[in-house]
Structure 1
Amino acid sequence: MKDIILKAENISKQYRLGQVGTGTMAHDLNRWWHQVRGKEDPYLKIGDTNDRSTKGTSDYVWALQNINFEVERGEILGIIGKNGAGKSTLLKILSRVTAPTTGSIKFGGRVASLLEVGTGFNGEMTGRENIYLNGAILGMTKKEIKSKIDEIIEFSGCERYIDTPVKRYSSGMYVRLAFAVAAFLEPEILIVDEVLAVGDAEFQKKAIGKMKDISNQGGRTVLFVSHNMAAVKQLCTRGIVLENGKVVFEGGITEAVDSYINSNQIFESIWNKLTPNNSIAYFTHASIINSENKYVQVVSNRKQCFLKLKVVVEAKVFDGTFAFEIVNQMDQSIFVSHDFDMSDSIREAGCFEILIPLPKFLRAGNYFVNLGSNIRGFTTLEYFPNVLGFEYIDELYGGQTQSRPGTVFIPLKWEINKI
């Protein structure tokens, strides 16, 4: 039998644009008049979908519409979607920061939330005092907090500054301490928004490990929101995908991430930069082409394709480098290539066209190209993420969408002799 610790039923949230409150007195009176007559709220039938990229026709917008899901005890649920999809609104409702317009939520335990850096902290109080304050807010007794305070301070890495007012903390120290309080005071449900992005790599690794521990060993539930799909895949067991305030997918975390990525995939096979960012050296063009000089969006390991770059160097003597990076759909770096890898790198003023064969060691999947240039050892001149994209297909493996296991594929020569 399922042990459901959180259940959201028909959650919707409506906002009125351009207003400080939820509406006007006339609207409130209209709502009241319908309510005393036993009628439905008339403003529930109007309002635009939560699409931030289009101009609406109504003053009302549905940030969330008919959200339904269940979370089992000990589960780590990933909530993913584009900016403006409704993730933060949903977490605020789950954290009781705001109330839903319609629907209800049933909780089976105490909830702790990390929605913004330093949420609930008093800047004038020390880190130690804020631990006791946040613990009290979470419903912990002073004895319970005292038994955990040494572990909290050690995990946060802020021991030297624990008796300093937190207004003097950096944003990274803020989030370290806030996460440690929420995690070690053992709520039944821990809600974590994008705040971990503030921490450094070491802390993110510790935080993900701690969330796994409190789920696996403590039987506690975690709701995790992040744009880092690698972290979501590593941590979560199940996911829901939000789009324009609605749930468009719910299922296993791998399928949820794939659904989100594929629905937002936009491939560009050509990029032009008209205005230089500096007067030393800059990119003017990038494209992916085949051997017939035609732009392509699909690259196969059976046919050679190329990255074509055009760059301009204005400095008479150029002691810098141009580079490109290929990243996967999780934004993980696959490899980086520089012009100084070759003996004939660019060292003088002029306009240059560069043709680079794309590697054939990739696994099947979607990839993106980042461009960058710098003065070696000193200054970044330009950096452009995700300027190009392409789908890589592994035709040697017997199917365009299939791929062999592993991080990369390197064809090796097998010498076979019959004996």
Structure 2
Amino acid sequence: MIEEFGIHIKDLVKEYEINKGGNKRKFKALQGVSYSVKRGKITGIIGSNGSGKSTLLKILSRITYPTSGSVEITGNVASLLEVGTGFHPELSGRQNIFLNGSILGMSRSEIKAKFDDIINFSGVADFIDTPVKHYSSGMYVRLAFSVAANLTPDILLVDEVLAVGDATFQQKCLEKMNDASTKDHRTVVFVSHNMSAVRQLCDEVIWLKEGQIVQVGSPDEITAAYLQSMDILSKELPIGLRTDRKGVGGAKITKLQWKNQEELLQSGKPAALEIEYEATEMQEIANLNFRLNIFNENGEYLTSLSNQMANFPFQQVAAKGRSVCRFDRLPLAEGSYYITTNLFINGIKCDRVERALSFKVIQGDYYGAGLTSFRDSPGVFIDQDWIYGKEL
């Protein structure tokens, strides 16, 4: 069996002890997970925050160990988990490349043969002799992925770090992972919230929920079932009651809704999105930033709403309050959408909720030209000016 499978997981359990106010309790991040990952295939792992995805990858990467159960792995493993793992911060990019290669069992000459490919793919040639602690998160991820993907591991584990990179680099990463499987016959395990990328890349998908496998199957089948379940969750459970949150805590978004909910949202018409928040560990917030990421119903990222990015800084504001994001003309085409919320205080992410609000937009004449968008074609309208001929 092990010859056919790159990874064999049996009855995997991971427990953590949580101490809150002197009260200790056990928390099971994984509960009896069993699965075998086929060699040379790309397996996706999806699930909401707290489902056990990252814990499973950390066990496969040997960063942490299971409480019980077993993992058998055929070949060496390179992993790209959250930003900050895998590199020594005091070493330069060049030194970290050689360090990672030696950990994978490669000789110095083998690493040198791959060095130019790593640099060219990452695009950080000008900073390769700079300590990586001075890299931006985007630079760090580009180099980390390039190292992991180009140093020919038998198994490549990739967590949701690609969200840091730009769209062009994300596509390069997806193509690289696909080549690792189809051309080099390497095994890839890919954790992502991007359902479009999962469908594009994976041969098979595992859906985790509360540390257990809900369903395994084809990318189209499993992502559709997962998105439907999340859509139901966002409609039935208000954001203030959601427990599947990420962030350091201490503050959260307690309410998110469109004003005048009895009215339909229409392209090109006025709209307003209400947000309520509360910080429990401070009396005043020095710098408050909302970032609301908008996706289409297939999980493809479209755009973000951010008071800070739009040059509306919220400084020295109350620890509990309300904000409204107003649109004179709603710039969304007809279709179904959802919002994932992020709340930052002083640049630190305190709260994140996936699929916090689902909504629909109907057709409208955004540009005032007597024309409407195509039916069921979610997207974003862009204000534009055109000139022609002699005006140039």
TM-score for both structures, normalised by structure 2: 0.65
Aligned to 1:62: 28
Report if aligned partners of 1:288, 1:308 keep a CA contact under 8 Å in 2: no
CA distance in 1: counterparts of 2:6 and 2:327, whole angstroms: 60
1:165, distance to aligned residue in structure 2 (A)? 1.7
Letter in 2 for 1:285: K
Correspondence for 2:176 among 189, 192, 210: 210
Distance verdict in 2 for CA 1:118–1:147, change over 3 Å = farther
1:258, distance to aligned residue in structure 2 (A)? 1.3
1:80, distance to aligned residue in structure 2 (A)? 0.7
CA distance in 2: counterparts of 1:139 and 1:18, whole angstroms: 40
Aligned to 1:112: 78
CA distance in 1: counterparts of 2:327 and 2:165, whole angstroms: 40
Correspondence for 1:161 among 114, 127, 149: 127
Q: Which moved more, 1:198-207 or 1:260-269?
A: 260-269
Gaps of 5+ in 2: 239-256, 275-293, 306-325, 342-353, 363-374, 379-392
CA distance in 2: counterparts of 1:183 and 1:117, whole angstroms: 16
CA distance in 2: counterparts of 1:112 and 1:256, whole angstroms: 26
Task: Give yes or no for the alignment of 1:252 onto 2:218.
Answer: yes
CA distance in 1: counterparts of 2:37 and 2:69, whole angstroms: 16
CA distance in 2: counterparts of 1:110 and 1:101, whole angstroms: 23
CA deviation vs aligned residue, 1:72-101 (integer Å, no higher than 9, x gap): 111111111111111111111111111111
CA distance in 2: counterparts of 1:355 and 1:148, whole angstroms: 51
Aligned to 2:65: 99
Letter in 2 for 1:98: T
Aligned to 2:254: none
Gaps of 5+ in 1: 20-56, 272-282, 291-298, 313-324, 337-351, 372-384, 394-405, 410-419
CA distance in 2: counterparts of 1:112 and 1:127, whole angstroms: 17
Correspondence for 1:287 among 246, 257, 261: 261
Report if aligned partners of 1:287, 1:308 keep a CA contact under 8 Å in 2: no
CA distance in 1: counterparts of 2:149 and 2:197, whole angstroms: 18
CA distance in 2: counterparts of 1:332 and 1:127, whole angstroms: 30
Task: Give yes or no for the alignment of 1:183 onto 2:152.
Answer: no
Distance verdict in 2 for CA 1:15–1:232, change over 3 Å = same
1:203, distance to aligned residue in structure 2 (A)? 1.1
CA distance in 2: counterparts of 1:305 and 1:200, whole angstroms: 28
Distance verdict in 2 for CA 1:130–1:236, change over 3 Å = same
Cα RMSD for the two superposed structures? 4.1
Task: Give yes or no for the alignment of 1:171 onto 2:172.
Answer: no
Report if aligned partners of 1:288, 1:305 keep a CA contact under 8 Å in 2: no
CA distance in 2: counterparts of 1:251 and 1:284, whole angstroms: 36
Distance verdict in 2 for CA 1:62–1:392, change over 3 Å = same
What is the total number of aligned residue pairs between the two structures? 295
Report if aligned partners of 2:267, 2:329 keep a CA contact under 8 Å in 1: no
1:408, distance to aligned residue in structure 2 (A)? 4.0
Report if aligned partners of 1:75, 1:237 keep a CA contact under 8 Å in 2: yes
Overall identity of the aligned pairs, in %: 47
Task: Give yes or no for the alignment of 1:82 onto 2:48.
Answer: yes
CA deviation vs aligned residue, 1:271-307 (integer Å, no higher than 9, x gap): 9xxxxxxxxxxx98142547xxxxxxxx9xxxx9998
CA distance in 2: counterparts of 1:180 and 1:158, whole angstroms: 10
Report if aligned partners of 1:287, 1:307 keep a CA contact under 8 Å in 2: no
Aligned to 2:9: 8
Q: Which moved more, 1:245-254 or 1:116-125?
A: 116-125
SS in 2 for 1:178: helix
Larger Rg: 1
1:392, distance to aligned residue in structure 2 (A)? 9.6
1:250, distance to aligned residue in structure 2 (A)? 0.7
CA distance in 2: counterparts of 1:311 and 1:62, whole angstroms: 37
SS in 1 for 2:223: helix
SS in 2 for 1:194: coil
Correspondence for 1:327 among 296, 309, 317: 296
